[in-house]
Amino acid sequence: MSTTTTSIDGSVSLAVRDVHLAFGSHPVLRGADLDVARGSTACVIGPSGSGKSTLLRTINRLIEPDRGDVLLDGRSVLHDDPDALRQRVGMVFQQFNLFPHLSVLRNITLALRKLKKLPEEEAVRLARAQLDLVGLAHKADARPAQLSGGQQQRVAIARALALRPQVMLFDEATSALDPELVKGVLAVMADLSAAGMTMVVVTHEMGFAREVADTVAFMDHGVVLEAGAPAAVFEAPNHPRLRRFLSQVR
Amino acid sequence: MDPLSTLWETFFDWASMREALPEMVTVGLPNTLLLAVSAALLGSVLGMLLAVAGISRTRWLRWPARVYTDVFRGLPAAATILLIGVGLAPLGMQVWGPNPYPLGVLALSLIAAAYLGEIFRSGIQSVEAAQLEGARALGFSWGEAMRLVIIPQGVRRVLPAWVNQLIALIKDSSLVYFLGLVASQRELFRIGQDYAATTGNESALLLAGLFYLALTVPLTHAVNAIDRRLRQGRPVAAPDVDLEPTGLATPSGKDPR
């Protein structure tokens, strides 16, 4: 796709500092750190159960960390109103989480009308423009269930982008897709990254991480064990667990 | 006279039916609808409040909702109508005058709310947690997410059960005759019963039964149609196949609309 997915208004830098979280007596995050420079893309890789998705959810506080801090442009978000924070931080899920009772267009206009308080026509205009950018303008009146998984995920991305977020979080956005549908979604994400969105991408797509990420972070057992430029992480991994992980996924 | 023709004359005496018909149409039907529809509206509002209270994280909301539901589902409808209609009659007299309808509607609503609360609650709880997460991630508060995303989906899923309750209300509305109705307040059943009592022939009652069926049977079929439509969004479009890697620009000819 050659068009730019969106114009980025005000990307911010993101930092996760020593975040701890336990579900009951089971520690999931054990001092995770992550730095994402303004307008850059960080891919988080690692085995299942390593805490990648949980880390992502502490950034927009869908899950509150027990300890540690999350900073946007150097300012802690943990004392902000979480609902206001989530309007600044877009999120895309593995299962899309589109609202099945609403049309594609309504999925996008809902938050614009109810949260941003935009008038109906303005919301519809923005939503159509956003749909156009992910190549689905002609699906505006369809229900999510009438779309393929790849199309649904592109709608979910458009829905998040319509709120003009400063950071985008992707939680295994292509893991639930049939192989032939993955490419279209990754193309939209690569576009967004190139346009200068600050992004955290939890992914199993090593090719995407290698080509698109500015930083690759390897997580295992609730900590980021190693982070760096893709070339360094993939070609010269230091940590034995990262080497073992890479040998298994290649 | 053979038993069969006795049976026939007891239930299918056309003259009796014809005599009762005008009053059924002009008095009985509007009154039955008034009672059932008012109670359905009020009962649905109360039921939704009960449902939300029932899934609340606050014990002081959950617990009263539970007790309410157990009590009003557990009592016979006739007992509730008598208890409310007679028990609150002095109060009702002051507020609404000698009309038994407000208390009758209240009693019917209170009964329906107990059932509808459980119906709504099960519908709301059947909506996947991911829907709430998706809504919260956009910045909606818990209340907004429930109101805009979760409850609309939950209610759609239990629409057939909701209509069943409406059908029960149409039938139970006949019980307000316990509260004493003047001629113009009589609903279908009471009119049928009055004609049956004065003529000694049950045909008018059977006619009332046909009126009830004419209301309830189409409702069950209507809900099935609505249910199908809501599930599928609209009459099904052609199966949509769009090969993504090349297909960002889908030929417009494929557009189902």
- Nearest in space to B108 (alpha carbons), one of B86, B71, B79, B77: B77
CA dihedral sign, ordered A99, A103, A105, A109? negative
B210 is written with which tokens?
Answer: 């046909």
When mean pLDDT is compared across A79-83, B6-10, B106-110, B124-128, the lowest value belongs to B6-10
When mean pLDDT is compared across B71-75, B144-148, B205-209, B219-223, the lowest value belongs to B219-223
**Does A93 sit within 8 Å of B138, measured CB to CB?**
no
pLDDT at B167: 93
Domain-wise residue ranges, chain B: 3-232
**Does A97 sit within 8 Å of B133, measured CB to CB?**
yes
pLDDT at A9: 66
Q: Does B227 score more than 90 pLDDT?
A: no
CB < 8 Å to A148, chain B: 240-242, 244
How high does pLDDT run on average in chain B? Answer: 86
CB < 8 Å to B130, chain A: 93, 95, 97
**Does B243 sit within 8 Å of A62, measured CB to CB?**
no
**Looking at residue A24, what DSSP letter applies?**
T
- The Cα–Cα gap between A217 and A227 comes to 4
pLDDT band at B240 (very low <50, low <70, confident <90, very high): very low
Q: Does B245 score more than 50 pLDDT?
A: no
A189 is written with which tokens?
Answer: 């994400």
CB-facing half-sphere around the CA of B20: CA atoms within 13 A: 34
Question: Please, which residues bridge with residue A226 across strands?
Answer: A218
User: What are the φ and ψ backbone dihedral angles of A5, each rounded to 5 degrees?
Assistant: -65, -35
CA–CA distances in Å: residue A46 to residues A22, A95, A149: 19, 19, 24
pLDDT at B39: 96
CATH 3.30.750.210 fits B3-232, yes or no: no
CA–CA distances in Å: residue B154 to residues A97, B2, B200: 15, 56, 49
Helices A104-114 & A149-161 angle (0-180, nearest 10):
20
When mean pLDDT is compared across A108-112, B45-49, B184-188, the lowest value belongs to B184-188
Average pLDDT by consecutive 10-residue portion of chain A (250 residues)?
A: 54 94 94 95 95 95 95 93 93 96 96 95 96 94 94 96 95 92 93 94 95 96 95 94 91
Q: Which of B138, B153, B236, B246 to mutate to test the interface with A (most CBs of A within 10 A)?
A: B138
- The Cα–Cα gap between A130 and A137 comes to 8
What's the pLDDT tens digit per position in B151-182? 999 998 898 899 989 999 999 999 988 888 88
- The Cα–Cα gap between A216 and A45 comes to 7
pLDDT at A210: 95
The helix (H) or strand (E) run that includes residue A58 is helix A52-59
Residue with tokens 């993504």: B244
**Does A62 sit within 8 Å of B137, measured CB to CB?**
yes
Longest Cα separation, chain A: 56
